[in-house]
Chain A
Amino acid sequence: MTALSRNDVEKVALLARLQLTDAELDTMTAQLGQILGYVDLLAEVDTTDVEPMAHAVELCNVFATDQVMPSLPRERALANAPRDNGRGYLVPAVLGD
């Protein structure tokens, strides 16, 4: 199962939107490989006909009523923005470079 290459790790880093240095890539490749090697222990468990368990407590049908509640004033919503123009959050242009 686990033959994790440095190239795999690079791809995962892009998926995870992390910029890793060369040194970090090396360490990460080794450590992830080691951890995944341990996790491969799960392969020996027979899970035929076992339903996956995504929640610790298996509740159903929890709803809220469709009721408008006050929103944040815009200045409070934007208060934590790293960069904004008083109307919206600003980021480098989404289209093109």
Chain B
Amino acid sequence: MSLVEYSAHELKQLLVSGEITSIELTQALLDQIGTYDDHLGAFLHIDAERALARAADIDHRRQAGKPLGPLAGLPVAVKDVLCDQDGPTTCASRMLQSFRPPYDATVVARLKAADAVLIGRTNMDEFAMGGSTENSAFQVTRNPWDPGRIPGGSSGGAATCVAARMAPLSIGTDTGGSIRQPAGLCGVVGMKPTYGRVSRYGLIAFASSLDQVGPLARTTRDAALLLETIAGHDPHDATSLEVPVPAYSHSLEQPLAGLRLGIVREHFAAGLDPSIEEAIRQAVEVYQSLGATIQEISLPHSKYAVATYYVIAPSEASSNLARYDGVHYGHRTDESQLQAELNARRQQLQAAGDERGLDQLDNGLVRMYRLSRAEGFGPEVKRRIMLGTYALSAGYYDAYYLKALKVRRLIRQDFDAAFGQVDLIASPVTPSVAYRLGEMVDDPLAMYLVDLYTVSANLAGLPSISLPCGFTREWLPIGLQLQAPPLEELRLLRGAHMYEQATDWHKRQPALVRQRHTGV
């Protein structure tokens, strides 16, 4: 078996016992990336030299018997949305193409302190807006199970690199499903922790009240290992929770005795792909066979979740992205051309005696903002900025933004009531499997509706996990989503682990990758 196929947990044991070195492991993954990534496009940036130097340093320290962090020598890929002062952080946007942060995100700092080897920066939808990774300004990422299809998004690179064995662990972010959905579509484990569990400091904001950082891996044990490294209170994030972080990976194996698993009546409606419905029902049967009791529950406001989300997220985004104005960092338009154009336009208007036109003509500064932003942002980002600006503007605030904040509370209250009856809620991750590249580009609303099972957890701040639970006839992965009450990550991981132990979906490899390793 090639090194790239081992789980992070197994690799850690091999590293600790001295059977392998971090250099060997890092090199093997760099080779895997070299082989597949030209085609799959999971990474935006690889600094092989730095990664190998870091691996060598950790190997030396290990040989010298020095104390090492919990991820010592393990390569981790990071979504290009978390600031790292050692390299570029672009958010897959032309706006930040040349941005070099002068500081580390707390999650990045914790990974470095845990002696992880940061192997590369993964592709994403620009500013994490989108569910297909097609909205990257730089490249398309392909689903390793069918390179003609999307990997999901926005953490598409993060899911792809794990599924294609280019990294055992990766960091993603989830604002409305951006970890769980690509994890589901790529057949890996992805988890969004409780809001506030992981610091957002240094995470380039999309929608601040919804964004969370979380792990992607091939097993729940690996996800637990990564989560316990990055979770915990951070004084730099006022929304971060000051509660202890359990050692998830240690108590993972205890099954949940007397588990009450909820399934949501409203989830099994028209629009759900029958093969997905079938896989979810079978997963529920697995739980039943493990001793869980199954209970049907209702989340009466779940049908409003997508509408609520697509008011709140763009509103916050329009505010968060106002800082990209080409003044202090980021892309700025060509100023000489801008002045020439403005002068020409002014002369035109003067000649025509158009007083109103002259009055409305942007000044140089306003035009600089408008052009810098128009050139720096892609269409999906512009669409959301426009939507959010509109929802917050005078006269519409109450009907859209304020209304959505109220419905958000009702959605949360639904969950609070449901968790009085059940311990975990099981559901699909997506209503359909990975679609073909380009298929939805012109239909944003259809694309938004794909988020219907995932956005509620963000609105309510709940932890939620996606794990492989089957395949369609065309060998496209299907994800099972589990949700738990706030701060019950351990319950969620134990529940997921129970299922994983009873099934082997997580062991499947995409044909593309499997073929190469046959006979190795």
B459 at the interface (CB under 8 A from A): yes
A85 part of interface (Cβ distance < 8 Å): no
Number of A-B residue pairs, CB cutoff 8 Å, is 173
Q: Mark A45-67, 1 if CB is under 8 A from B, else 0.
A: 10100111111110100101000
Which of B102, B330, B458 gathers most chain A CB within 10 Å? B102
Whether B304 lies near A56 (C-beta < 8 A) is no
Q: Which residues of A contact B (CB under 8 A)?
A: 1, 4, 8-9, 12-20, 24, 28, 31-32, 34-36, 38-39, 41-43, 45, 47, 50-57, 59, 62, 64, 72, 76-77, 79-83, 89, 91-94, 96-97
**A59 CA to B240 CA in the complex, in Å?**
9
Contact A17 B369 (CB under 8 A): yes
- Of the candidates A1, A54, A97, the one whose C-beta lies within 8 Å of that of B405 is A54
For the complex formed, measure the closest distance between the CB of B445 and the CB atoms of chain A, giving whole angstroms. Answer: 5
Residues A91 and B365 in contact, CB atoms below 8 Å apart: yes
Report yes or no: A42 in contact with B304, Cβ–Cβ below 8 A: yes
Greatest chain B CB density within 10 A among A32, A50, A72 is at: A50
Is chain A's interface secondary structure helix, strand, loop, or mixed overall?
loop
Q: Once the chains bind, are B460 and A56 in contact (CB under 8 Å)?
A: yes
- Count residues of B near A (Cβ-Cβ below 8 Å): 75
Assuming the contacts A34-B445, A57-B486, asked whether A82 and B459 have C-beta atoms less than 8 A apart, the reply is no
B337 within 8 A of A: no
Given A17-B366, A94-B365, A45-B241 contact (CB < 8 Å): no
Residue of B nearest to A11 (CB): B393
Also in contact, A53 and B406, with CB within 8 A (given A18-B374, A64-B235): yes
Contact of A97 among B102, B194, B364 (CB under 8 A): B364
A/B interface sample: 12 pairs, CB < 8 A: A16-B318, A16-B385, A35-B445, A38-B307, A41-B303, A42-B304, A42-B404, A45-B407, A47-B407, A59-B238, A59-B239, A91-B365
Question: Which residues from B are CB-within-8-Å of A35?
Answer: 310, 387, 444-445, 448
> Beyond A56-B458, A76-B102, is A32–B366 a contact (Cβ under 8 Å)?
no
Shortest distance between the CB of B285 and any CB in chain A (Å): 33
Query: Is the beta-carbon distance between B382 and A59 smaller than 8 angstroms?
Result: no
A28 close to B364 (CB less than 8 A): no
| B444 and A50 contact, CB distance less than 8 A | no
A19 touches B209 (CB 8 A): no
With A47-B410, A56-B460 already in contact, 11 other A-B pairs whose C-beta atoms are closer than 8 Å: A16-B386, A18-B377, A18-B382, A38-B306, A41-B307, A56-B209, A57-B239, A59-B239, A59-B241, A62-B239, A80-B102
